[in-house]
Amino acid sequence: MIQFRDVSQQYEAGKPIIQNLSLNIEAGEFVVLIGPSGCGKTTLLKMMNGLIAPNSGEIIIKGKTIKDWDPIVLKRNIGYVIQQVGLFPHLSIEKNMAYPLDLQKTAAAQKQERARELIHLVGLDESYLKKYPNELSGGQKQRVGMARALAADPEIILMDEPLGAVDQINRAVLQDEIIRIYQSLHKTIVFVTHDIEEAIKLGTKIVVLNQGEIMEIGTRDDIVFHSKSDFAEAFIGNKGFLSYLNIVKIKQVICPFNGSAAEKDITLAVNEADPLIVGIRRCLENGVNKIGVRNANGTLIGAFDLGCLSRLKF
C-alpha cells in the first residue's frame, strides 16, 4: 500500500533528517512510528501524503509513484489526523466532519447522511452535529477529527500523535475506539506516537526510529522480546515489557484444568479478559502460583499459572 525505497530527506543542506529509509506497509496494517523527538516521524507522514517531497529515493502509494499522483486525488485517498485537530471554529461539527466531502462536491443530503454515520462511528450521538468546536472537550474534538479524516472513506489514515493532548483516562478510551474503528473498517493506518504503551497496544507493526533511520521493525512480540538493536532495546525496554503485560489478555495463556481435587477448590479467580498483569499481581499478592480464570458468565474455565506464561509464543 505504501512503500519507501531508499528515501532521504533534508530541510537544510548537510542536515539529513531521513536517511536511505526503506519501508513497506501492507494494506490493512496498523503501523506505529515511534522514536525520540526530532527523529523524523512527522516528516515521514508528510512524505506519505505528498506534503513534503523526498530529496532522493522513491515513495510508492497504491502501486504508483507519488510523483504521478494528482495531489488532490492523493489527499482524498489519505485521511490525516493531527494532535491539534484543526477544526474550523465557525463551522458546526456536522459541517466540519463533512468538509472533505465539500471538496468532492457531494450533494447536501448525502453529506448529512454521512455525518450521521460518522458521528456514531466515533462514539458520539447526533446531538453533537449542531454544536460548535468550542462546546466540545479535547477528547470529543479528537473524535470529530477522526470522523473528518474518515469522511471521504480513504483507504489510508495517517495519525500524527492524535492523542498527545488527551488526558490519560480518555486516551485509553480513545485508543480502544481507534482499535474498534480499525477492526471494523479495515483501513491502513500509520500512527505516530511518543508513548511506548500506545505503540504496543495499537500497532500490528511497530517501527522504532532514531535520527531518520529504522532501528527496529516488527510485531509487539518482536519489539519487546526479540530486539536486535541496542537502541530499540534501550528505548522500549522494561516499559515496553510492562505495557505488553498490560495489554495481552489472560485468555491467551490459560491452561485447561487437569481435574485435580485442588483445582476444584480454587476460589481465587480472574477474568479471561483481564490483562496478564492482573493475573501475575493476584498470584504475587496471595503467595500462590496458580489461580482460576472465569469467562464472562462467571464460569470457571481454566487456570492461570505463572508457568502458563511460557505458553506465549514470543
Ligand X SMILES: Nc1ncnc2c1ncn2[C@@H]1O[C@H](COP(=O)(O)OP(=O)(O)OP(=O)(O)O)[C@@H](O)[C@H]1O
Contacts with ligand X, residue ranges (CB under 6 A) = 11, 17, 37-43, 194
Q: How many other C-beta atoms can be found within 10 angstroms of the C-beta atom of residue 203?
A: 23
As measured in angstroms, the least distance from the Cβ of 311 to ligand X is 37
The smaller minimum CB distance to ligand X, of residues 96 and 142, is found at 142
As measured in angstroms, the least distance from the Cβ of 228 to ligand X is 22
The smaller minimum CB distance to ligand X, of residues 80 and 128, is found at 80
Instruction: Please give the angle made by the CA atoms of 89, 159 and 239, to the nearest 5 degrees.
Output: 125
Instruction: Specify burial of residue 126 (Cβ count, 10 A radius: 0-12, 13-18, 19+).
Output: exposed
Nearest to 141 by CA among 74, 85, 196: 85
- Range list of H helices, 61-167: 71-77, 93-103, 108-121, 138-150
Rounded CA gap, 57 and 4, in Å?
A: 8
Rounded CA gap, 192 and 232, in Å?
A: 16
As measured in angstroms, the least distance from the Cβ of 144 to ligand X is 22
The smaller minimum CB distance to ligand X, of residues 37 and 260, is found at 37
The smaller minimum CB distance to ligand X, of residues 152 and 207, is found at 207
As measured in angstroms, the least distance from the Cβ of 110 to ligand X is 36
The smaller minimum CB distance to ligand X, of residues 22 and 137, is found at 22
Pairing of strands 56-61, 2-12: antiparallel
Pairing of strands 15-25, 213-218: unpaired
The smaller minimum CB distance to ligand X, of residues 40 and 218, is found at 40
As measured in angstroms, the least distance from the Cβ of 79 to ligand X is 18
As measured in angstroms, the least distance from the Cβ of 97 to ligand X is 26
Please report, for residues 70, 99, 142, 175, the alpha-carbon distance to residue 138 in angstroms, rounded to integers and kept in the order given. 34, 20, 6, 14
